[in-house]
Structure 1
């Protein structure tokens, strides 16, 4: 292939590669979905058969998404792939609403919004999502179906906040990923608190930034010195063991060589001075 042809091919393919790079998901408009395409209600059967390219199935999934992890991503992957042609809108609750109904978050709402924007399965992020979904909200954003795991979600005085969605035939179930959740991650951090504090002190964070008192800071610093001393002792022990092993190995080698030489010396001695040796034969003659 000549140079000119290679240049022509690269000149065509490079812009296509640039176009293939996906931008972060857009934020929903406060006015709702403004598409001019008629939004007729779909049944699940119709959605599963596939819809025209210009009319994707609008699926909504909501949550807190604190400490965004693989369990969140897998749930959104399922929501995105529940129908052949899906446009996934993800609602993220604000700090004010979350702190009121669920508890304090690690990440701020802006950090959580931005994390969702960069998930490959998400097409649109709806900020300050409502805790409960009203009929007006669903119509405003032209939502066809709501995706969530099928476990009844008890909150805000309701036994299941998705009950009316299920009764309307607008609910599609996703499956939770066992072994990973925001609560699990926070539990690990709390359980190993001392380890993480010591690690961050080593990395240059101040005790004030970590909200660690003077006495505890000194305790962690002392523990760090003790651990370094233990590691030094272990290193010396390992080196000592290696040295002793080498000495034993050399000693065994020397003993083996001495045994060989001694057998050779005794054999030569007997050959010369033994009853049938050369010295005895010379005396007989």
Structure 2
């Protein structure tokens, strides 16, 4: 028998270039690699491409290197869809994702929920990412683009004002290296944080109940007591609700049993009444028996047996018997 071939339908294929150094072959079961000093050790000049050329699938000897950067805090489906678009911009794309460090992010944008190392790891496990570049620069310089042999930069087309600039991607757009992606409506890191802030009390109470301390949650002493009291009230409500549900179930069972008993009682009652009427009704068995017995008694009283022929006649002076008087009455 032939040996079974491994299923390679989920392989992550990293395109190789004859003019590049050795490329690592990995699968989708493995995370994307972290960028080294430069992951494109190309020994030939890196020719500049136009978007039209890249969309036609040229050059044929190497993939188009696309760069997408961001903070990627609370990595969500909106981030993944943007990277999916970047990966599918051209027939043969190698996607490099730059992630800014905590220092740069806190300086230019604000505090993050996830640390930079958590954000790096989140990006490594996205199926569309071929390479993660840590401590990415806030503004892309020509030197950075040349160092990493980047052909195009992918980002949504909304001007991104930061670091004293109205649009940090303005010079990339002017150089013809910018390729726009579409934002996913209804989901963003700011939206997720807004939901958490809106329902802060709910999450604080839940985490206190799970064993987190008030210090870890940055909750004051008064609020901690309030949340714990609310948790106790909720537990009592839940117990009362459970008792009510059990009581309703018990009442339902009693009603069901009562209904069965009443139904059986009605059936037995109908059977008893039917038997009673059959026995004592106008045409019942008891009346027929009574009539038969009464008829026999009356017949016996009206037609007694005759005296034997050899019985002696009544003596004179003795009182006449009932039979004699009755026979005499009939003859008259």
Under a length normalisation based on structure 2, what TM-score does the superposition of the two structures give? 0.76
2:145 aligned with 1:138: yes
2:132 aligned with 1:125: yes
**Contact 1:79/1:174, CA 8 A, preserved across alignment:** yes
Aligned counterpart, 1:113 = 120
Q: Secondary structure at the match of 2:94?
A: strand
Q: Secondary structure at the match of 2:180?
A: strand
The one of 239, 243, 250 aligned to 1:243:
250
In structure 2, do the counterparts of structure 1 residues 14 and 121 end up closer, same or farther at CA, with 3 Å as the change threshold?
A: closer
2:277 aligned with 1:270: yes
Listed one character per residue, the Cα deviations across residues 62-117 of structure 1 (whole Å, up to 9, x for unaligned) are 10111111211111111111111111111111222211221111112222222222
Give the number of the structure whose residues are more often helix, by fraction: 1
- Structure with more contact order per residue of length (Cα contacts < 8 Å, sep ≥ 6): 1
The one of 71, 75, 81 aligned to 1:68:
75
**Contact 1:37/1:55, CA 8 A, preserved across alignment:** no
Matches of 1:32 and 1:283, distance apart in 2: 119
Aligned counterpart, 2:204 = 197
Under a length normalisation based on structure 1, what TM-score does the superposition of the two structures give? 0.88
Aligned counterpart, 2:50 = 43
5 Å-filtered alignment, 1:137-216, equals 137-216=144-223
2:105 aligned with 1:98: yes
Matches of 1:151 and 1:62, distance apart in 2: 14
Which aligned segments of 4 or more residues in structure 1 are displaced greater than 6 angstroms? none
Computing the radius of gyration from Cα coordinates, the structure with the larger value is 2
Gaps of 5+ in 1: none
Matches of 1:100 and 1:204, distance apart in 2: 33
Q: Secondary structure at the match of 1:24?
A: coil
Listed one character per residue, the Cα deviations across residues 23-42 of structure 1 (whole Å, up to 9, x for unaligned) are 43333344674321321111
**Contact 1:39/1:142, CA 8 A, preserved across alignment:** yes
Matches of 1:273 and 1:29, distance apart in 2: 109
Matches of 1:177 and 1:31, distance apart in 2: 31
Q: Secondary structure at the match of 2:176?
A: coil
Listed one character per residue, the Cα deviations across residues 95-151 of structure 1 (whole Å, up to 9, x for unaligned) are 222112211111122222222222222222222222222233222222111101122
Q: Once superposed, what is the RMSD of the aligned Cα atoms?
A: 2.5
Gaps of 5+ in 2: 12-24, 293-332
Matches of 2:191 and 2:69, distance apart in 1: 20
